[in-house]
């Protein structure tokens, strides 16, 4: 079975999407439509902006979503997903790809999500840290032992887990994790504690927007971050998408489940090759490649 996977925040780069815009009329129309929906020229920032401008949360999340979704739409007849999944933000791209959400609704939700997350980040000093070379269970135990809020946030691949929480709690957890034998415990250059209880204000704001958006029955299952299994029921998809902001991204478990359910060919759709790299660490025997623009 052919599985399409969609990247999340961090995959952005200056010039992203320009090749799509210049070589495909459908892509050009969709980018121009996005500028109108967002109320600013995101294409200017994507194509020519500085890395700093692209790093703004209100830009980064819609930019990655647009690159992924528009690339998928240019694949035409070749795009026949049998299962889809997305890493964090990428789940919204996956939901447009399997026709749960329209392009317009998906973009509006991503924009609202980005702004809500930015607001939540500004309420309290918080961050995330990558922990390398330890079993998940040890990382979880250390997080539980630390005073304050610090939780496992992204199960990226075996031996790579990202933790998220309050600044002091993250610092203490990193210190303890290095004592436990972590190869690295390194704070990440992010604006806040994504996928942790500190995102509760953003979850509440996004929940309202999701409840008021039409979700259709998908053409294939979406393997959602929160449950790490295939879902086809529209109301269940909504619930999981709302829970996603404060719950961990179970990426390792998601990919393993997709393989167990018959996924044999994984294609990353969007900027960068991050998910292909994680695929090789989760299961090297499964084919992983990147989608290529159809001109």
Catalytic residues: 88, 195
DSSP 8-state code for residue 218: P
Helices (H), 87-217: 90-97, 103-123, 136-145, 167-179, 200-211
Find all residues with CB under 8 Å of 137, minimum gap 6, and list them: none
Between helix 103-123 and helix 200-211 the angle, nearest 10°, is 160
Distances from the Cα of 43 to the Cαs of 15, 96, 198, 287, in angstroms?
Answer: 9, 20, 31, 32
Tokens (6 digits) for 102: 């329209």
Q: Tokens 């209100």 correspond to what residue?
A: 58
- Check: CB of residue 93 under 8 Å from CB of residue 135: no
Distances from the Cα of 17 to the Cαs of 81, 104, 156, 285, in angstroms?
Answer: 22, 18, 25, 31
Q: How many CA atoms lie within 13 A of 281 on its CB side?
A: 17
Closest Cα partner for 140 from 127, 150, 126, 129?
Answer: 150
DSSP track, 111-131: HHHHHHHHHHHHHS-EEEEEE
- Collapse the DSSP code of 177 into the 3-class scheme (helix H, G, I; strand E, B; otherwise coil) and give the result: helix
């Amino acid at each position: 079975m052919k599985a399409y996977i969609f990247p999340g925040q961090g995959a952005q780069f200056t010039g992203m999407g320009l090749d799509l815009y210049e070589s495909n009329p459908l892509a050009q129309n969709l980018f121009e439509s996005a500028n109108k929906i967002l109320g600013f020229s995101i294409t200017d920032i994507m194509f020519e902006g500085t890395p700093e401008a692209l790093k703004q949360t209100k830009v980064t999340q819609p930019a990655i979503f647009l690159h992924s979704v528009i690339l998928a739409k240019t694949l035409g007849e070749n795009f026949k997903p049998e299962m889809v999944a997305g890493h964090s933000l990428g789940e919204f791209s996956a939901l447009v790809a399997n026709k749960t959400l329209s392009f317009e609704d998906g973009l509006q939700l991503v924009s609202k999500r980005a702004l809500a997350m930015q607001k939540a980040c500004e309420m309290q000093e918080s961050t995330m840290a990558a922990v390398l070379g330890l079993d998940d269970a040890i990382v979880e135990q250390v997080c539980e032992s630390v005073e304050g809020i610090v939780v496992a946030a992204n199960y990226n691949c075996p031996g790579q887990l990202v933790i998220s929480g309050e600044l002091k709690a993250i610092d203490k957890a990193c210190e303890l994790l290095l004592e436990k034998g972590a190869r690295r415990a390194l704070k990440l250059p992010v604006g806040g504690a994504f996928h942790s209880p500190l995102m509760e204000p953003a979850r509440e704001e996004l929940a309202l927007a999701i409840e008021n958006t039409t979700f259709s029955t998908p053409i294939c299952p979406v393997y959602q971050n929160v449950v790490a299994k295939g879902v086809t029921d529209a109301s269940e998809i909504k619930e999981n998408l709302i829970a996603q902001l404060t719950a961990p991204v179970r990426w390792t478990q998601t990919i393993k489940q997709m393989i167990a359910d018959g996924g044999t060919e994984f294609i990353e759709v969007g900027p960068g090759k991050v998910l292909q790299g994680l695929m090789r660490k989760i299961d090297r025997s499964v084919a992983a490649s990147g989608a290529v623009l159809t001109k």
